[in-house]
Amino acid sequence: MKVAICGKNGFGGREHSLAYLFKRQNPDLQLYLYPGNGGTEKLGEHRAVNSIDEMIKDMLELEIELVILGPEADLEEGLADLLRKKGIACFGPGKEGARLETNKLFAKKVMEVGNVPTAQYQYFSALELDALLQDIQTRPTPYVIKANGLAAGKGVFVVNDASKKDLAIQFVKELISGGYGGSAKTGVLIENFLPGEEASLFYLVNTHTSELIPMRPSQDHKRLMDGDKGPNTGGMGAYSDAPLVTDILLDKIHQQIAEPTMHALQALGIDYVGVLYFGLMIDAENCAVVEINARFGDPEIEVLAPRIQSNFLELLNCLANNQKCTQIEWTEEACVSVVLASEGYPISSKKGIPIYGLNSIPEDILIFHAGTRKEKGQILTNGGRVLNVVSLGKDISSARKRVYDFLSEGTLRFENMQYRKDIASKADRWIS
């Protein structure tokens, strides 16, 4: 079988972990990576293209049978629609379905159709700046400000108390003026603050066949520094399972969130084949949706892929081709991932810094490359989040200890490398 993983707008840890999983389970697979990164050349053939048209032409010539789409920006461009029009099976929603992630107002409307629990909100268009600023000044705290469009996980500002309102105004003005990738060009949402703790849960979905397959719960760590301090990032690490998501909650999420969302998409006539990523706020035995994304989460998939026992590629292929599917089989082990980031991240990043120690990785440590490239035989940094250091363990504590023991050795390093020292420590309060 010929399979392509597409990360046209960012081939990182998500795409590397999927490539690792596919090849681990299917050694003879012909895998093509668009474009790949500094750590993936042994897993599949790197394909360098300059445009979507060139990429699709290349895939047709190679007779690619299935494409797995990675980044949200690829979905926003409607790449899945273009591939399907050319007769190439694709795991990833079309542009209309991807609006669940690319347009937060649209996601709210879908959740309203499905009566899915989420925060109450108010929407302001980009032309309503004065009204938005007035609302920020007068609204009782706490509340949350969100850019309506894609912002790589960084277009969110939590106003905990009145002292944060001036900073909130600065944040909004930067959004409206085009900051954060122009993520607020279609407007800004202000939401009621949801108490609790965040967790992530992915579902594999096909609205044609009403397939709705849950994955295991995980927890991301979005803030840059220990103790959830500092600016938001794309994610500094993750672990799975997240013990705060109990079996009772998993049933509630399925019945009150996942199924109603799928039915709402069906009611709206939206064909959806891909991932529904529910960012959840857990408060005791209650849960609500913070956001819906339309792809595998990064860094969450890095702690899920090593735990999957059933043939994941076969499952995705069945979904992409409207075939009956089976549930996913999982190892009982826990998994922890710590992100190694460049100096200056998330504001900026230094590229071209040599990375040392990649040839001395022990067998019980996995390395998924995020922002790297290979030049003259040397792996260099090529982005903000550079590497994911991953380990399995009999429980969360042992997996976490193995990752940090390895990092403390100093074998794997690059200049001014930064990482959090407390990934997965949140799990301790939920484990008796």
Residues contacting residue 387 through CB under 8 Å, at least 6 positions apart: 13, 339, 340, 355, 367, 368, 369, 370, 372, 412
Confidence of residue 431 (pLDDT cuts 50, 70, 90): confident
DSSP state of 418: B
Confidence of residue 363 (pLDDT cuts 50, 70, 90): very high
Q: Average pLDDT for residues 150-157, to the nearest whole number?
A: 74
Mean pLDDT value across the chain: 94
Quick one: pLDDT at residue 129? 83
Residues 314, 221, single domain; the answer is yes
265, 285, 320: which is the final residue of a domain? Answer: 320
Q: Average pLDDT for residues 198-224, to the nearest whole number?
A: 97
CA 37 to chain centre: 18
pLDDT at 263 over 90: yes
Quick one: pLDDT at residue 180? 62
Q: Average pLDDT for residues 144-166, to the nearest whole number?
A: 85
Whether a cis peptide bond, with omega within 30° of 0, leads into 140 is no
Quick one: pLDDT at residue 16? 98
Residues 309, 341, single domain; the answer is no
Confidence of residue 184 (pLDDT cuts 50, 70, 90): low
Q: Average pLDDT for residues 228-251, to the nearest whole number?
A: 94
pLDDT at 182 over 60: no
Do the domain assignments include residue 105? Answer: no
* 22, two tokens: 């596919």
The residue segments making up the domain with residue 51 are 2-93
Q: What is the total count of domains within the chain?
A: 4
Residues 312, 375, single domain; the answer is no
Do the domain assignments include residue 325? Answer: no
Residues 50, 154, single domain; the answer is no
pLDDT at 84 over 70: yes
Confidence of residue 153 (pLDDT cuts 50, 70, 90): low
Do the domain assignments include residue 102? Answer: no
Quick one: pLDDT at residue 289? 97
Residues 360, 425, single domain; the answer is yes
Q: List pLDDT tens digits, range 371-405.
A: 999 999 999 999 999 999 999 999 999 999 999 99
Residues 220, 292, single domain; the answer is yes
Strands, E, within 193-317: which ranges?
197-206, 211-214, 218-220, 223-225, 229-232, 237-240, 273-283, 286-293
Quick one: pLDDT at residue 179? 64
Residues 217, 247, single domain; the answer is yes
Angle, CA of 195, 199 and 202, to the nearest 5°: 135
Do the domain assignments include residue 327? Answer: no
What is the Cα gyration radius of the chain? 21
Residues 411, 423, single domain; the answer is yes
Which residue do the tokens 């929603």 mark?
A: 93
CB 232 within 8 A of CB 290: no
Do the domain assignments include residue 100? Answer: no
Sign of torsion over alpha carbons 339, 327, 23, 278: negative
Q: Average pLDDT for residues 263-292, to the nearest whole number?
A: 96
CATH code, 170: 3.30.1490.20
Do the domain assignments include residue 205? Answer: yes
Confidence of residue 12 (pLDDT cuts 50, 70, 90): very high
CATH code, 308: 3.30.470.20
Residues 77, 142, single domain; the answer is no
288, 320, 352: which is the final residue of a domain? Answer: 320
Confidence of residue 151 (pLDDT cuts 50, 70, 90): low
Residues 297, 225, single domain; the answer is yes
Residues 182, 225, single domain; the answer is no
Confidence of residue 432 (pLDDT cuts 50, 70, 90): low
Angle, CA of 76, 78 and 80, to the nearest 5°: 120
Q: Average pLDDT for residues 261-269, to the nearest whole number?
A: 98
Quick one: pLDDT at residue 127? 80
Quick one: pLDDT at residue 232? 87
Quick one: pLDDT at residue 186? 76
Residues 406, 426, single domain; the answer is yes
Do the domain assignments include residue 107? Answer: no
Quick one: pLDDT at residue 172? 86
pLDDT at 181 over 70: no
192, 224, 251: which is the final residue of a domain? Answer: 192
In the chain, pLDDT over 90 holds for what percent of residues?
Answer: 87
Do the domain assignments include residue 114? Answer: no
